[in-house]
Amino acid sequence: REEEAQQRIDAARARLGKKAVLLVHHYQRADIFRHADLTGDSLRLSRLASQSEADFIVFCGVHFMAEVADILSRPEQVSILPDLAAGCSMADMATLAKVERCWRELAEVLGEAPDSRFTPVTYINSAADLKAFCGEHGGIVCTSSNARTILDWSFAQRPGVLFFPDQHLGRWTAHQMGVSLDEMAVWDPDQRYGGLTPEKIRSAKMLLWKGHCAVHQMFQPAHIQRWREKHPEGFVISHPESPFEVCRQSDHVGSTELIIKTVKDAPAGSRWLVGTELNLVSRLAEEVRAEGKIVEFMSPTVCMCSTMQRIDPQHLAWTLENLADGNVVNRITVPEHEAALARLSLERMLSVS
Ligand code: 13P
Ligand code: SF4
């Protein structure tokens, strides 16, 4: 069945020719990755989507990525997600209703609209309506590879930042900029005033939404310490969605693209412990093995992004065959009123970074 699905993908692609482009995120499984036209982290894939000439942008990634492709592409281009159930559990942790309630509660505490006090910054791992919220309130989108630049821009606009949905990326990036942990506070959306006192809210420089990635949350400082005892000469590299202590104990912290580049550019024979999703780490280990580099996965338990994994050869084959037959399936469309505001915050990001 597996081999048959691969053949069906190849045949449908041959029928589609240049009409379809396959954008593939680094976390995709090997049996999908091999079909990629273009690969990248979220920032690179956003840029590629905005530059594509293809009629169909087939996104092998998760829902928010296909939404970004729809927002940044031309109206006649079509963005497709081969399995509509491929979401991002972190993105789901910040809904528009909860963020709007937070904004109202901030207004109550501050006695004025929060727009003069906090720049709303959403990680690209969020729904289009939150990107639109940021567009409407003078805010911006960031990714794991440009978070520092985007926070610099955001603090130049207003004294504070409301950052969602990933507290770990927000905390690590602000810490790198010299914001102390005392100047940060975690906003719990399930509690009134985020569970914070009015004094804490008024003095906070960085309000961090209480969201996280279940995959990166699994990495622990103890994993690094045990590995370093065995391999003191080795290097540790982690994705900034990992907990703060993991980032602090790593030699390098960065996006999926930066992780791949750093390990590929490293001296032959070096040894690496990598804290990010397993599909990426296994592929990287394979690619650098010939140079004598050893790449190991940070957690003793398997941490895969189960939603990225949903894009499988059967779904991809079915999607491409339908497109080749003239049936558009699994189209991701962001309503234009929302897309216009979301585009504002995404374009701010693309021009700042
Ligand atoms: P990157 O932008 O680093 O590829 O990260 C996307 C993501 O979802 C990581 O969990
Ligand atoms: Fe979302 Fe985490 Fe999967 Fe990335 S790895 S898509 S943040 S659930």
* 126 CB within 6 A, ligand 1: no
* 213 CB within 6 A, ligand 2: yes
Nearest CA to ligand 2 atom 6: 88
Could you give the CA distance from residue 14 to residue 263 in angstroms, rounded to a whole number? 34
Is 351 within the bounds of a domain?
Answer: no
Global pTM reads: 0.97
User: What does the pLDDT look like over 152-161, one tens digit per residue?
Assistant: 999 999 999 9
Is 165 within the bounds of a domain?
Answer: yes
Given this model, what pLDDT does residue 161 score? 98
Are 205 and 227 within one domain? no
Closest ligand to 279 CA? 2
* 86 CB within 6 A, ligand 1: no
Q: 60: which strand partners?
A: 24
* 89 CB within 6 A, ligand 2: yes
Residue 229 sits in a domain whose CATH number is: 3.40.50.10800
* 88 CB within 6 A, ligand 2: yes
The mean per-residue pLDDT over the stretch 166-177 comes to 98
User: By C-alpha distance, which of 64, 27, 69 is closest to 46?
Assistant: 69
The mean per-residue pLDDT over the stretch 92-115 comes to 98
In which band, very low, low, confident or very high, does the pLDDT at 96 lie, cut at 50, 70 and 90?
A: very high
* 62 CB within 6 A, ligand 2: yes
Nearest CA to ligand 2 atom 7: 213
Supply the mean pLDDT for the chain.
97
Could you give the CA distance from residue 179 to residue 158 in angstroms, rounded to a whole number? 15
Nearest CA to ligand 2 atom 1: 88
Are 206 and 224 within one domain? no
In which band, very low, low, confident or very high, does the pLDDT at 1 lie, cut at 50, 70 and 90?
A: confident
Are 229 and 200 within one domain? no
Are 81 and 64 within one domain? yes
User: What does the pLDDT look like over 70-91, one tens digit per residue?
Assistant: 999 999 999 999 999 999 999 9
* 277 CB within 6 A, ligand 2: yes
Are 38 and 73 within one domain? yes
* 143 CB within 6 A, ligand 1: yes
Closest ligand to 218 CA? 2
Residue 350 has pLDDT above 90, yes or no: yes
Are 280 and 311 within one domain? no
Could you give the CA distance from residue 109 to residue 223 in angstroms, rounded to a whole number? 41
The mean per-residue pLDDT over the stretch 190-194 comes to 98
Residue 200 has pLDDT above 90, yes or no: yes
Is 114 within the bounds of a domain?
Answer: yes
For the chain, give the percent of residues with pLDDT over 90.
97
Residue 308 has pLDDT above 90, yes or no: yes
Residue 89 Cα to ligand 2 middle (Å): 7
Given this model, what pLDDT does residue 37 score? 97
Is 124 within the bounds of a domain?
Answer: yes
Given this model, what pLDDT does residue 81 score? 98
Other Cβ atoms less than 10 A from the Cβ of 6: the count is 16
Closest ligand to 45 CA? 1
Other Cβ atoms less than 10 A from the Cβ of 253: the count is 23
Are 51 and 125 within one domain? no
Are 182 and 206 within one domain? yes
Q: Which domain holds residue 146?
A: 91-213
Given this model, what pLDDT does residue 223 score? 97
Residue 2 has pLDDT above 90, yes or no: no
Is 121 within the bounds of a domain?
Answer: yes
Given this model, what pLDDT does residue 211 score? 98
Residue 141 Cα to ligand 2 middle (Å): 17
Closest atom, ligand 1, to C-alpha of 62: 8
Rounded (5°) CA angle 24-302-210: 75
Residue 277 Cα to ligand 2 middle (Å): 9
In which band, very low, low, confident or very high, does the pLDDT at 302 lie, cut at 50, 70 and 90?
A: confident
Task: Please give the structure tokens belonging to residue 182.
Answer: 């005392």
Q: How many domains does the chain have?
A: 3
User: What does the pLDDT look like over 34-57, one tens digit per residue?
Assistant: 999 999 999 899 999 999 999 999
Could you give the CA distance from residue 142 to residue 252 in angstroms, rounded to a whole number? 19
Of 195, 213, 231, the one marking the end of a domain is: 213
Residue 254 Cα to ligand 1 middle (Å): 10
Is 349 within the bounds of a domain?
Answer: no
* 146 CB within 6 A, ligand 1: no
Phi, psi angles (nearest 5°) of residue 179: -75, 130
Is 31 within the bounds of a domain?
Answer: yes
User: What does the pLDDT look like over 231-271, one tens digit per residue?
Assistant: 999 999 999 999 999 999 999 999 999 999 999 999 999 99
Are 201 and 231 within one domain? no
Residue 339 has pLDDT above 90, yes or no: yes
